[in-house]
């Protein structure tokens, strides 16, 4: 199996090393990752600047550092490492959750999305913590993936879909199991905060407090909040097919 790995936390991220160590047990691995953190870049692509690529190694695997985004990294990987295509794109392990609407912002998810666009089975993986500064428990993610990545690869795969996996950042003994669930709701309150610089000039800092709805059963937010690994199949077809007939009746 030919495996391409990327992330949005950068080439030096611990989660990337963990994912690479696990993937080596399933095939030939090439890592192509940003040269530094590119979190929350979404499905962005570099169009107006050249992409610089530097060869290196990661966990004894061939690797490339790219001065671009995760989408760029997947496309560079398919050019310089796998010109004839690969069998699997893995993205992560992300330093933090990618639940609910986060998938639209996440560079980690975008890496898997780009793999799916290229017709490749793809999986995004994140460690889901809920308290700032809490341990990330990458050892739990490594253990779970060693036990379950093979099972995920045996699942039926539909074109233009990918899997989004969120592993609770807790000790492995506390994991309750796995749930295949839909997307939940994870939104941000007071997203933009106004501040003043030392000269009294206003500026704005974007972030906000996360508001989750863990009471909505059978969602990724609910599963992770209840100590389950959440596996969510995501389709690239965002069309609301139920509304097509309704809109056609109006126009």
Q: What are 113-152's pLDDT values in tens digits?
A: 999 999 999 999 999 987 667 789 999 999 999 999 999 9
The per-residue pLDDT for 206 is 79
Please, is 152 exposed, middle or buried when counting C-beta atoms within 10 Å of its C-beta (0-12, 13-18, 19+)? middle
Could you give the residue ranges of the DSSP H alpha helices within the chain? 14-23, 70-80, 107-117, 138-154, 220-225, 241-250
Q: Where are the domains of the chain?
A: 2-183+214-250
Contact 86, 53 (CB under 8 A): no
Interacting residues of 200 by C-beta distance below 8 A, sequence separation 6+: none
Q: How many beta carbons lie within 10 A of that of residue 21, not counting itself? A: 17
The per-residue pLDDT for 244 is 92
The per-residue pLDDT for 178 is 97
Upper half-sphere CA count for residue 37 (Cβ side, 13 Å): 9
The per-residue pLDDT for 147 is 97
Q: What's the alpha-carbon Rg for the chain, to the nearest Å?
A: 19
CATH number of 2-183+214-250: 3.40.1210.10
Cα separation, 240 vs 105, in Å, equals 20
Please state the pTM of the whole predicted model. Answer: 0.93
End-to-end CA distance of the chain: give it in Å, rounded: 49
State which residues of the chain have pLDDT below 50.
none
Please, is 243 exposed, middle or buried when counting C-beta atoms within 10 Å of its C-beta (0-12, 13-18, 19+)? exposed
């Amino acid at each position: 199996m030919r495996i391409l790995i990327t992330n949005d936390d950068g080439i030096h991220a611990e989660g990337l090393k963990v994912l690479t160590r696990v993937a080596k047990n399933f095939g030939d691995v090439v890592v192509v990752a940003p040269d530094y953190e590119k979190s929350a870049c979404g499905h962005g692509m570099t169009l107006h600047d050249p992409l610089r690529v530097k060869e290196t190694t990661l966990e004894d695997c061939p690797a490339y550092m790219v001065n671009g985004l995760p989408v760029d990294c997947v496309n560079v990987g398919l050019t310089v490492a796998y010109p004839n295509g690969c069998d699997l794109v893995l993205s992560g392990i992300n330093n933090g959750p990618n639940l609910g609407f986060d998938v639209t912002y996440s560079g980690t998810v975008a890496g898997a999305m780009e793999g799916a666009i290229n017709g490749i089975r793809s999986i995004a993986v994140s460690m889901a913590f809920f308290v700032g500064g809490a341990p990330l428990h990458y050892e739990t993610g490594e253990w779970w993936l060693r036990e379950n990545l093979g099972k995920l690869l045996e699942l039926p795969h539909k074109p233009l879909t990918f899997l989004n996996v969120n592993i609770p950042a807790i000790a492995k003994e506390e994991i309750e199991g796995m749930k295949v669930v839909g997307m939940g709701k994870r939104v941000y309150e007071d997203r933009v905060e106004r501040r003043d610089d030392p000269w009294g000039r206003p500026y704005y800092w974007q972030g906000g407090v996360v508001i989750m709805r863990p009471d909505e059963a059978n969602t990724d937010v609910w599963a992770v909040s209840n100590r389950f690994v959440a596996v969510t199949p995501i389709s690239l077809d965002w069309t609301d097919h139920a509304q097509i007939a309704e809109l056609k009746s109006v126009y």
